[in-house]
Structure 1
Amino acid sequence: MKKLRQAQCLLRLQHPNLIQLSTIPAAHRHNSTLSRSKLGKPTLSASPAAASSITSQTLQDYAKSSQWHLIKQVSSSLTPKLISCTFLSLRSSPDLILNFIKYLSPQCLNLECYCLAISILSRRPSPKQATELIKTVICSRIASISDIFYGLVGARERLKISSSILLDLLIRALCELKKGDEAFECFKMMQGMNVLPKIETCNDILSLFLKLNRTQMAWIVYAEMFRMSINSGLRTFNIMVNLLCKEGKLKRAKEFIRQMEGFGFKPNVVTYNTVIHGYCLKGDLEEANKVLESMISKGLEPDTYTYGSLISGMCKERRVDEASAHFVKMMEAGLAPTAVTYNTLIDGYCNKGDLKRAFSYKDEMIKKGVMPTVSTYNLLIHALLLEGTIGEADNLLKEMQEKGMLPDAITYNILINGHCRAGNAKKAFSLHDEMFSKGIQPSRVTYTSLIHVLGKRNRMKEADDLYANILRRGVLPDLIVFNVLIDGHCANGNMERAFLLLEEMDKMKVTPDEVTYNTLIRGYCREGKVEEARGLFARMKEQGIEPDHITYNTLISGYSGRGDVKDAFRVRDEMFSLGFNPTLLTYNALIQGLCKKGKGDLAEQLLKEMVSQGITPDDSTYISLIEGIGNAGSFKGKSIQDEVSCA
Structure 2
Amino acid sequence: MWVSTVNLFSLSKFIKHHHFIALRSVSALVQLKPLSSDSDSDSGPQNTTKVVETLNRLKKKPIDALSYFDNLIKEGFLHDVCTYAAIVRILCHFRLNKELDLIFLQIIRKQNNVEFEVIDLLKALYHDGSDSFVRVSNAMVKAYVVLGMFDQVLEILFLTEHHGFVFPISSYNFFMNQLVHCGKVDTVLAVYQQLGRLGLSLNVYTYVIVLKALFKKGCLEEAFEVYREMDKAEVTPNEFAYSTFIEGLCMNGELDLGHQLLRAWAATKIPLGAFAYTVVIRGFCNDTRLEEAEGLLLFMETQGVVPDVHVYSALISGYCKFGNISKALALHSEMVSKDIKTDCVVVNLILKCFCQLGRVSEAVHQLKELEEIGIVDNISYNVVVDALCKLGRVDEAMVLFSEMKDNQMVLDVVNYTTMIYGYCLQGKLCDALILFKEMKEKGHEPDLVTYKILAVGFARCDFGQVAIDLLNDMKKQGLGPYFARDNMIIEGLCLGGKVKEAEAFFHSLQEKCLENYSAMFNGYCHADYSEKAFQLFMRISKQGFSVSKGSIFKLLNSLCINGDNAKAKMLFDRILTLNLEPSKIMYSKLIGSCCHAGEMGMARSVFDILISRGNTPNLMTYTMMINGYRKVNCMQKAFELFKDMKRQGITPDDVTYKILFNIHSKINLKSSSSS
Given the superposition, is the C-alpha separation of residues 471 and 336 from structure 1 closer, same or farther in structure 2, using an over 3 Å criterion?
Answer: farther
Q: Does residue 174 in structure 1 map to residue 140 in structure 2?
A: yes
Letter in 2 for 1:101: A
- Kindly indicate whether the alpha-carbon contact (under 8 Å) linking 2:51 and 2:83 is maintained by their aligned counterparts in 1: no
1:461 to 446, 450, 459: 459
1:376 to 323, 346, 349: 346
Q: How does 1:201-600 map to 2 (within 5 A)?
A: 201-296=171-266, 299-408=269-378, 410-425=379-394, 427=396, 438-443=409-414, 446=417, 450=421, 454=425, 459=457, 461=459, 468=471, 476=480, 489-495=493-499, 519-520=522-523, 522=525, 526-527=528-529, 529-530=531-532, 533-537=534-538, 539-540=540-541, 542-543=543-544, 551=552, 554-555=555-556, 557-558=558-559, 561=562, 567=567, 585-586=589-590
SS at match of 1:378: helix
Given the superposition, is the C-alpha separation of residues 256 and 385 from structure 1 closer, same or farther in structure 2, using an over 3 Å criterion?
Answer: same
Q: Aligned partners of 1:213, 1:480: CA distance in 2, in Å?
A: 32
Q: Which runs of 5+ in 2 are unaligned?
A: 1-33, 429-455, 608-618, 628-657, 664-675
Q: Which has the higher mean CA deviation after the structures are superposed, 454-463 or 414-423? A: 454-463
Give the TM-score of the pair, scaled to structure 1: 0.65
1:187 to 139, 152, 157: 157
Q: Aligned partners of 1:213, 1:369: CA distance in 2, in Å?
A: 38
- Kindly indicate whether the alpha-carbon contact (under 8 Å) linking 1:432 and 1:442 is maintained by their aligned counterparts in 2: no
Q: Which has the higher mean CA deviation after the structures are superposed, 411-420 or 234-243? A: 411-420
CA offsets 1:59-93 (integer angstroms, 9 cap, x no match): xxxxxxxxxxxxxxxxxxx94323435778x8xxx
Shift of 1:411: 2.2
SS at match of 2:229: helix
SS at match of 1:614: helix
Q: Aligned partners of 2:115, 2:418: CA distance in 1, in Å?
A: 46
Q: Aligned partners of 1:222, 1:546: CA distance in 2, in Å?
A: 45
Shift of 1:455: 9.5
Q: Does residue 200 in structure 1 map to residue 170 in structure 2?
A: yes
Given the superposition, is the C-alpha separation of residues 566 and 176 from structure 1 closer, same or farther in structure 2, using an over 3 Å criterion?
Answer: closer
Q: Aligned partners of 1:512, 1:261: CA distance in 2, in Å?
A: 61
Q: Aligned partners of 2:64, 2:586: CA distance in 1, in Å?
A: 82
Shift of 1:306: 0.8
Q: Aligned partners of 1:327, 1:572: CA distance in 2, in Å?
A: 46
SS at match of 1:529: helix
How high is the sequence identity, in percent, across the aligned residues? Answer: 18
Given the superposition, is the C-alpha separation of residues 291 and 344 from structure 1 closer, same or farther in structure 2, using an over 3 Å criterion?
Answer: same
Letter in 1 for 2:544: Q
Letter in 1 for 2:179: F
Q: How many residues align?
A: 533
Q: Aligned partners of 1:550, 1:116: CA distance in 2, in Å?
A: 64
- Kindly indicate whether the alpha-carbon contact (under 8 Å) linking 1:209 and 1:218 is maintained by their aligned counterparts in 2: yes
SS at match of 2:413: coil
Match of 1:137 in 2: 103
Q: How does 1:33-72 map to 2 (within 5 A)?
A: 35-36=42-43
Given the superposition, is the C-alpha separation of residues 112 and 260 from structure 1 closer, same or farther in structure 2, using an over 3 Å criterion?
Answer: closer
- Kindly indicate whether the alpha-carbon contact (under 8 Å) linking 1:487 and 1:519 is maintained by their aligned counterparts in 2: yes
Q: Does residue 80 in structure 1 map to residue 48 in structure 2?
A: yes
Given the superposition, is the C-alpha separation of residues 132 and 306 from structure 1 closer, same or farther in structure 2, using an over 3 Å criterion?
Answer: same
Shift of 1:394: 0.9
SS at match of 2:234: coil
CA offsets 1:99-121 (integer angstroms, 9 cap, x no match): 98379574389444534536866
SS at match of 1:218: helix
Match of 2:641 in 1: none
SS at match of 1:232: coil
Q: Aligned partners of 1:402, 1:149: CA distance in 2, in Å?
A: 57
Shift of 1:240: 0.3
Letter in 1 for 2:411: I
Given the superposition, is the C-alpha separation of residues 238 and 249 from structure 1 closer, same or farther in structure 2, using an over 3 Å criterion?
Answer: same
Shift of 1:613: 3.9
Q: Which has the higher mean CA deviation after the structures are superposed, 183-192 or 428-437? A: 428-437
Given the superposition, is the C-alpha separation of residues 261 and 133 from structure 1 closer, same or farther in structure 2, using an over 3 Å criterion?
Answer: same
CA offsets 1:556-602 (integer angstroms, 9 cap, x no match): 844884x867656666788999997876744675689x6xxxxxx88
Q: Aligned partners of 1:100, 1:350: CA distance in 2, in Å?
A: 55
CA offsets 1:403-455 (integer angstroms, 9 cap, x no match): 123422x2243123312432335555776787788432224995699289739
CA offsets 1:3-58 (integer angstroms, 9 cap, x no match): xxxxxxxxxxxxxxxxxxxxxx995367x7x733xxxx89xxxxxxxxxxxxxxxx
Letter in 2 for 1:340: H
- Kindly indicate whether the alpha-carbon contact (under 8 Å) linking 2:389 and 2:421 is maintained by their aligned counterparts in 1: yes
SS at match of 1:28: coil
Q: Aligned partners of 1:644, 1:480: CA distance in 2, in Å?
A: 54
2:65 to 101, 104, 115: 101
Letter in 2 for 1:171: S
2:623 to 594, 614, 620: 614
Larger radius of gyration: 1
- Kindly indicate whether the alpha-carbon contact (under 8 Å) linking 1:320 and 1:349 is maintained by their aligned counterparts in 2: yes
Given the superposition, is the C-alpha separation of residues 452 and 276 from structure 1 closer, same or farther in structure 2, using an over 3 Å criterion?
Answer: farther
Given the superposition, is the C-alpha separation of residues 389 and 472 from structure 1 closer, same or farther in structure 2, using an over 3 Å criterion?
Answer: farther
Letter in 2 for 1:203: N
Q: Which has the higher mean CA deviation after the structures are superposed, 335-344 or 472-481? A: 472-481
Q: Aligned partners of 1:502, 1:351: CA distance in 2, in Å?
A: 44
Q: Aligned partners of 2:372, 2:517: CA distance in 1, in Å?
A: 45
- Kindly indicate whether the alpha-carbon contact (under 8 Å) linking 1:277 and 1:309 is maintained by their aligned counterparts in 2: yes
Shift of 1:278: 2.0
Shift of 1:268: 3.3
Given the superposition, is the C-alpha separation of residues 365 and 134 from structure 1 closer, same or farther in structure 2, using an over 3 Å criterion?
Answer: same
The alignment yields a C-alpha RMSD, in angstroms, of 5.4
- Kindly indicate whether the alpha-carbon contact (under 8 Å) linking 2:521 and 2:537 is maintained by their aligned counterparts in 1: no
- Kindly indicate whether the alpha-carbon contact (under 8 Å) linking 2:316 and 2:331 is maintained by their aligned counterparts in 1: yes
Shift of 1:398: 0.9
- Kindly indicate whether the alpha-carbon contact (under 8 Å) linking 2:55 and 2:87 is maintained by their aligned counterparts in 1: no
- Kindly indicate whether the alpha-carbon contact (under 8 Å) linking 1:378 and 1:411 is maintained by their aligned counterparts in 2: yes
Match of 1:28 in 2: 37
Given the superposition, is the C-alpha separation of residues 258 and 426 from structure 1 closer, same or farther in structure 2, using an over 3 Å criterion?
Answer: same
Q: Which has the higher mean CA deviation after the structures are superposed, 205-214 or 109-118? A: 109-118
Give the TM-score of the pair, scaled to structure 2: 0.63
Q: Aligned partners of 1:362, 1:351: CA distance in 2, in Å?
A: 15
Q: Which has the higher mean CA deviation after the structures are superposed, 170-179 or 255-264? A: 170-179
Q: Aligned partners of 2:341, 2:37: CA distance in 1, in Å?
A: 58
Letter in 1 for 2:412: Q
SS at match of 1:331: helix
- Kindly indicate whether the alpha-carbon contact (under 8 Å) linking 2:215 and 2:223 is maintained by their aligned counterparts in 1: yes
Q: Which runs of 5+ in 1 are unaligned?
A: 1-24, 43-77, 595-600, 619-641
Given the superposition, is the C-alpha separation of residues 566 and 582 from structure 1 closer, same or farther in structure 2, using an over 3 Å criterion?
Answer: same
